[in-house]
Amino acid sequence: MPDNIPVTPGPRGVPQVAMSRTSTLVTRTGSWKYIRPAYHDRVAPCNARCPVGIDIEGYLNLLREGRVDDARDLLLQENPMPSVTGRVCHHPCENACNRRALDGAVAIHAVERALGDLAHERPAPIPTATPRAERVAVVGSGPAGLASAYHLARLGYGVTVYETADKPGGMLRLGIPEYRLPRAVLDRDIDRVRAHGVDIKCGVRVGVDVTWDDLTSTFDAVCVSTGAHTSRALGVPGESLPGVRAGLAFLRDVNDGQRPALGARVVVVGGGNTAMDCARAALRLGAQVTVAYRRTRDAMPAIREEVEDAEREGAQFVFLANPVEFTGANGRVQSLTCERMALGEPDASGRRRPMPTGETFVIEADTVLTAIGESSTLEGFPGDVTRNDAGLEVDALGGTTRDLLFAGGDVTDLERTVADALGAGKRAAIGIDRHLRRHAGDTAELNALRFATGNLSAARWMQRDPVRRVDPINDVVGTDDITLSQYRRMPRHADAHLPSDVARGGFAEVNEGLTAAEAMDEAQRCFNCGVCTQCDVCLIFCPDAAITRVEGGAYAIALDYCKGCGICAAECPRGAITMTQDRT
Amino acid sequence: MSQLRINECIPSGDLLTPGHLACPGCAAPLAMKLALNTLGSDTVVVMPACCYTIIAGPWPQSSLQVPVYHTAFATGPAVASGVRAALDMQGKHDTTVMVWVGDGGTFDIGLQSLSGAAERNENILYVCYDNEAYMNTGIQRSSATPWGAWTTTTPAQFPEASNKKDILAIMAAHNIPYAASATPAYPVDFVEKVTKAKAMRGTRFLHVLSPCPPGWKCGDDEGLELARMAVQNRVFPIVEVEDGQRWRLTMDHAGDAVEPYLRRQGRFRHLNGEQVTHIQADIDARWEQLLRRVESSGGEVPRAPALAGARA
C-alpha cells in the first residue's frame, strides 16, 4: 500500500480522491458461514477391509516418507507373517482401494511382500514386553494359532503351541503348494514367531497324546486353532471308487514331497482355492486338468489371480457343472457325470443359485479330486462347547462358550482365508489378554481399536500405535471423497511371473512379485485416503486466503474469515477435511 | 508421488488479504491470489467496474496489497495505458500494469478500449476473469454467456440465444505478443502463464474461466470441479497464442461429453436433449476449428485420446 502520496482531506476527513489505506482484515467474513471445515483424519478403505487389521495406509504413508524400517515395524505390529500374506492373501484391501477409480488399485500385496521379505534381511527389533506369569496353550500352528501365539508373546505371556504334524504351519504347509508359497519363506515367517519366545511342540496330538482337560488345567488359557482338515464329501454314487480322492489329501501328499500317479486326465471338482491348488498341482504332475464347478466364473470363491494362473497353465474350466455320479471301469473311476446347471435367484451368499436343468453330460477322468470345502473335526474336545455346522461358535474376541477356552481360524464359524485366520488369532490374543487381566472393557473401547468396522489393531490395544491421527473420525473414505483430478496417472506395477510353460514344469514359485525398487514405487501410488499429508492443496485453493501453515507442519484455518465455501474439503485430494455444521 | 505436486509450482505470498467480499466459492479471488503472488508487489492493478470492484473491499479498505485504480466500465485499457505511460515517465518500466476485469467489461462494454490498447500494443497485462454473465449486478447475460444458459435477462423460457464470443481469437487477431486461456482450477498452468506473460512486453491477454456459484447455480464447493470439467469437455480449451500466430494447447483435453457439466448447473437445468446435442455439436465444431489453428501454425495436435488432467 503506497503511503507516501499526500492526500488533502475534504470535509469530515474524507479525501477528495477516495484512497483505501487499510486492508479488509477488519471485515470478519467468517460470520457468513453456516458450515465450517475441520481437519479430521479418516479411515482408508484398505484398512477397514483388511481381515488382519493391518494399518496399510499407515505403512504406505511411512514408505512415502522413505521411512522403510518404520513401515516394516508398523506392519509387523499387526501381522506376524507378511511374507506369507504378501503371497497368498486374497487381498480384499485391493478390491476396496479407491485408486481403482483412476488407474488400478495399489498392488498392496506386492508392497507387503517386499516389506516382509525385507524384514528377513533387516529384522525388526523384538519389543520387550513386561513378562506375565500366566501361560497360554495354543492348539494348532496354522495362521490363526501362530498369530495368537505371536500377539500373546508380545503381550508378555509364555506361549506353547501344539502341532499334530511334524512341522508347524498348518494349512500353510499342508494345503498351499510350494509354487505359491516357498517353504523357505514360510519357515522364515514362523521363525519370527519363535523368535518372540513362542515354544512350538510338533508331533503332539491334542485330544489323543494330551487331553484337553490336561491343557485347561495346566495353562491359564487355551486358544483352539486346529483348522478344518476334512474334505467334504459330494455325496453322490461312485464317490468311493479308487481314483476319486479328497483334494486336500492329494495336496497334503504333494506338499509332503510325494508325486502321486494321477493318470492322464484329472477332473477337479470345486471353485475355491483348494480346487485351484489341486488343478495347478495336477498340471505340474503332467496331467490334463479340467475344473468342474457348479456356478459360474464370477461366483468362484478362489482368488481371481489363482484362477487366471490355472487357466494360463492350461487348466480347462467347465462351469455350471454339478457332479451327479462317478462311473468306474476295472475297479477304478473312469468318468464323471455332471448335470448342467442354470442360474436361479440369488442365495444367501448373494450369488445366483445354480438350479438343475435335468440335462447331463460326461467328462472322462482317470482321477477326480474333490475340493468343495472342508470341515473341522475335534477329537476328544469338550462336548459342552457350543458349535454349529461351520465350527465352534466364538464371540468378537474369539471366546467360546467355555471360560479360558478361545478359538480362531477355520475351526470357528468365520471366513476361511489366511488373512481371516491371522485376524482371528489376534482377536483371540486380545480376548485372552483381557480375560487374564480381568479387564472389563466395553464395546466402545473395542471399537476404538478398529479401523472403522474392521479388525482390531494390536498396536492400539498395546497403546503402541506410532501413527498420529488428527482428530480422527472412524469412518471410511469412499471414492466420492477423493479428488481424482489431483492425481496423475501412474499405472499399477504388475508382478513378474514365470512363463507358464516353465511354471507348470515344476514347483518353483510362479509369482515373482516386484523388485524392492518397484515395490517402493508402487507404495507412492497410495492416495493416503483420509489422512492429511500436508500437500498444500487446501492452502493453495482457498479463495479466501484463510488457510495458513503453522509450525510443525499442520494448517490453521482462520475461522474469522473462512466463509465456509467448502472448496478446501472438495479439493482435498484424500478426504481429510470434513465440513461440519457451524455451532454459532 | 502420484499426487500432482502443485505446491512446488505455486508461489506463496500474502498480496491478497482475507476479509474480501467475494461470495463463498467464488473463483475470482483464487485467480487474483495466484496472479498477484506470481506477479509480486511491483504491480499496479487497474479495475473497471466488475464483481471485483466490490470484492476488493469498500473504501477505506482494500484486499489487494498493491495499488488499485478503480475506473469506469469502458475505460480499463485506456486508463491502464495512461498508468503505464506515467510509470514509464518515472522510469518504472518493470512495474507490471494489470487490468483486472470481468467478462462484461471485456466482451461488451470495454471491447473498444481493449482493441485500441491492443492495436497500440500497450505494455499491459489484461486479465479477463470470465464468469459468463454480469454477476455483480444480478446475473444479466453478457456476450460471454454461453448459448442456452439461463440468466435473469434470458429466462429459462427464452434462454441465451447467441453463441459466446471467441474472445481469444479476437485478441489473437490483434497480433499481440501473448494471448492465453487458463483457469485457477488448474493452478500450475495458470501460474506458468502469468509468469510467462510477466516476462513479456506489449499487450498480454489472459482469458480466465472463473466459476460463479450463485450465477451458475451450483454448490459453493463445486466451481473448481466444474471448471476442470469445462476444460476436459472442451467447453473452455486451455491454449496460448504467441504473436497472434502460434497456437498451442497447453493441457490435454480428454474430450468428455458436455452433458454431465450442464446437468450440474442450475443455469442449464431447463435444456432438453436436443439442446444438449446442439451444444455438444458446437463444442466439437469449435474444437476442430481450434485444432486447425494449432496445426496450421505448426503446433502439435493430440492424436490419441488424452489422459484427464495431464499436462501437455
pLDDT of res. B1: 59
Burial pattern A51-85, b for ≥16 Cβ within 10 A else e, equals: bbbbbbbbbbbbbbeeebebbbbbbbbbbbbbbbb
pLDDT of res. A92: 96
For residues A424 and A50, is the Cβ–Cβ distance under 8 A? no
For residues A453 and A49, is the Cβ–Cβ distance under 8 A? no
- Chain B residues with CB under 8 Å of A558 CB are 18
For residues A45 and A96, is the Cβ–Cβ distance under 8 A? yes
pLDDT of res. B307: 44
Q: Within an 8 Å CB–CB cutoff, is residue A26 touching chain B?
A: yes
**Equal CATH topology for A135-229+376-439 and A235-372:** yes
- The DSSP secondary-structure symbol of B31 reads H
pLDDT of res. B312: 36
> Does the beta-carbon distance from B1 to A524 stay under 8 Å?
yes
CATH class of segment(s) B22-296: alpha beta
Task: Give the separation between CA A168 and CA A144, rounded to whole angstroms.
Answer: 12
DSSP for A310-333, please give it. Answer: HHHTT-EEE-SEEEEEEEEETTEE
pLDDT of res. A7: 61
pLDDT of res. A383: 79
Cα maximum dimension of chain B:
59
Domain coordinates of chain A in residue numbers?
A: 135-229+376-439, 235-372
A45, three cell numbers: 478403505
Interface of A with B in 532-561 (CB under 8 A): 533, 535-537, 539-546, 558, 560-561
The three-class DSSP label of residue A487 is: strand
- Chain B residues with CB under 8 Å of A2 CB are 67
> Does the beta-carbon distance from A566 to B67 stay under 8 Å?
no
> What is the rounded average pLDDT of the residues A166-187?
97
Position A496, amino acid: A
Closest alpha carbon to A543 in A563, A570, A572: A563
Closest alpha carbon to B179 in B229, B115, B254: B115
Interface of A with B in 564-583 (CB under 8 A): 564-567, 569-571, 573, 579
Position A539, amino acid: L
Task: Give the separation between CA B282 and CA B287, rounded to whole angstroms.
Answer: 8
- Chain A residues with CB under 8 Å of B231 CB are none
DSSP for A242-295, please give it. Answer: TTEEEHHHHHHHHHTT------SEEEEE-SSHHHHHHHHHHHHTT-EEEEE-SS
Position A134, amino acid: E
For residues B209 and B141, is the Cβ–Cβ distance under 8 A? no
> Does the beta-carbon distance from B61 to A27 stay under 8 Å?
yes
- Chain A residues with CB under 8 Å of B307 CB are 489
pLDDT in tens, A530-579: 999 999 999 999 999 999 999 887 899 999 999 999 999 999 999 999 99
Q: Which residue has the higher pLDDT, A378 or A92?
A: A92
pLDDT in tens, A287-307: 999 999 999 999 999 999 999
Superfamily (CATH H level) for A235-372 = FAD/NAD(P)-binding domain (3.50.50.60)
Q: Within an 8 Å CB–CB cutoff, is residue A521 touching chain B?
A: no
Rounded to 5 degrees, φ, ψ at A99 are: -70, -15
Percentage of residues of chain A with pLDDT beyond 90: 85
Task: Give the separation between CA A426 and CA A442, rounded to whole angstroms.
Answer: 18
> Does the beta-carbon distance from B20 to A544 stay under 8 Å?
yes
For residues A142 and A409, is the Cβ–Cβ distance under 8 A? yes
pLDDT of res. B310: 42
Closest alpha carbon to A79 in A153, A147, A176: A147
> What is the rounded average pLDDT of the residues A230-248?
93
Task: Give the separation between CA A68 and CA A73, rounded to whole angstroms.
Answer: 9
Domain coordinates of chain B in residue numbers?
A: 22-296
Q: Which residues have CB under 8 Å from A437's CB, separation 6+?
A: none
Would the pLDDT of A403 be above 90?
Answer: no
Q: Within an 8 Å CB–CB cutoff, is residue A489 touching chain B?
A: yes
Query: What element of type H or E holds B296?
Result: helix B273-296
B184, three cell numbers: 485457477
DSSP for B143-177, please give it. Answer: TTSPTT---SSS-TTS---SPPP-HHHHHHTTT-S
> Does the beta-carbon distance from A570 to B225 stay under 8 Å?
yes
Q: Are strands A265-269 and A288-292 parallel, antiparallel or unpaired?
A: parallel
How does residue A5 score in pLDDT terms, banded at 50, 70 and 90?
A: low
Ranges of residues in chain B whose predicted pLDDT is under 70: 1, 303-312
> In a 10 Å sphere around its CB, with 0-12 CB exposed, 13-18 middle and 19+ buried, how is residue A446 labelled?
middle
Nearest to B19 among A27, A486, A527 (CB): A27
Position B149, amino acid: A
- The domain A135-229+376-439 having CATH identifier 3.50.50.60: the answer here is yes
> Does the beta-carbon distance from B30 to A541 stay under 8 Å?
yes
Task: Give the separation between CA B117 and CA B216, rounded to whole angstroms.
Answer: 31
For residues A539 and B187, is the Cβ–Cβ distance under 8 A? no
Closest alpha carbon to A310 in A268, A341, A351, A373: A268
Mean pLDDT of chain A: 93
How does residue A184 score in pLDDT terms, banded at 50, 70 and 90?
A: very high
> What is the rounded average pLDDT of the residues A11-19?
75
- Chain B residues with CB under 8 Å of A63 CB are none
For residues A406 and A394, is the Cβ–Cβ distance under 8 A? yes
Q: Are strands A555-557 and A547-549 parallel, antiparallel or unpaired?
A: antiparallel
For residues B171 and B197, is the Cβ–Cβ distance under 8 A? no
Interface test with chain A among B1, B3, B189, B238, by most A beta carbons within 10 Å: B3
> What is the rounded average pLDDT of the residues A274-284?
97
> Does the beta-carbon distance from A544 to B1 stay under 8 Å?
no
Would the pLDDT of A131 be above 50?
Answer: yes
pLDDT in tens, A439-483: 888 888 899 999 999 999 999 999 999 998 889 999 999 999 999
Give how far Cα A129 sits from Cα of A125, A149, A467, B121, B290, Å. 12, 14, 20, 78, 70
Q: Which residue of A has its CA nearest to B306?
A: A489
pLDDT in tens, A343-369: 999 988 888 999 999 999 999 999 999
> Does the beta-carbon distance from B310 to A488 stay under 8 Å?
yes
Q: Are strands A332-346 and A321-329 parallel, antiparallel or unpaired?
A: antiparallel
Rounded to 5 degrees, φ, ψ at A528 are: 50, 55
